Amino acid sequence: MDYRVKKIGDDWKFLPEEEKNKKFQYERLFNKIQKRERTIQKREIELKELKKELREWKKERTVQHHQLIKYHKHFTPGFSVSLSKNPKIKKDDNLHGSFRTSGNLSWTIYVTVQGKRKSIYLGTMSVVNEKIDLIEGTNEYCYLFPHKSIPHRKKLTRKIEKLVYPLIKEEMLTVLTNEGSLDSFLNSTTKGIRYLDELYKNSEYYEEPKPKKPQKKGKFIVFNPPPSYWINKKKNEKSNK
Cβ(104)–Cβ(70) under 8 Å?
Answer: no
Give yes or no: residues 116 and 186 share one domain: yes
Task: Identify the domain containing residue 47 by its residue range.
Answer: 12-73
pLDDT at residue 48 above 50?
yes
> 122 and 186 share a domain?
yes
Residue 16 domain flag: yes
The reply to whether 157 and 177 lie within a common domain is yes
Looking at 50, 73, 96, the residue that finishes a domain is: 73
Instruction: Tell me: do 61 and 101 sit in the same domain.
Output: no
pLDDT (tens digit per residue) in 137-193? 999 999 999 988 999 999 999 999 999 999 999 999 999 889 888 889 999 999 999
Q: Is the same domain home to 162 and 121?
A: yes
81/192 same-domain check: yes
Q: Taking residues 37-44, what's their average pLDDT?
A: 94
C-alpha 80/C-alpha 110 separation (Å) is 5
Query: Is pLDDT above 80 for 211?
Result: no
9, pLDDT greater than 50: no
Residues in CB range of 196: below 8 A, 6 or more apart:
122, 123, 128, 131, 132, 135, 163, 164
Residue 53 and residue 135 in one domain: no
Radius of gyration over every alpha carbon of the chain, rounded to an integer in angstroms? 42
State how far the Cα of 26 lies from the Cα of 21, in Å rounded to an integer: 8
What pLDDT is recorded for position 214?
A: 67
- Considering the domain architecture, whether residues 97 and 50 belong to the same structural domain is answered as no
Lowest-confidence range among 2-11, 114-123, 127-136, 218-227? 2-11
Euclidean distance between CA atoms 171 and 31, whole angstroms: 72
44, 73, 102 — which closes off a domain? 73
Structure confidence at residue 225 (pLDDT): 64
Q: Is residue 115 part of a domain?
A: yes
Number of independent structural domains in the chain: 2
pLDDT, tens digit, 9 for 90 and up, residues 68-108: 776 666 668 899 999 987 655 555 555 555 545 556 789 99
Residue 220, pLDDT above cutoff 60: no
Does residue 127 carry a pLDDT above 90? yes
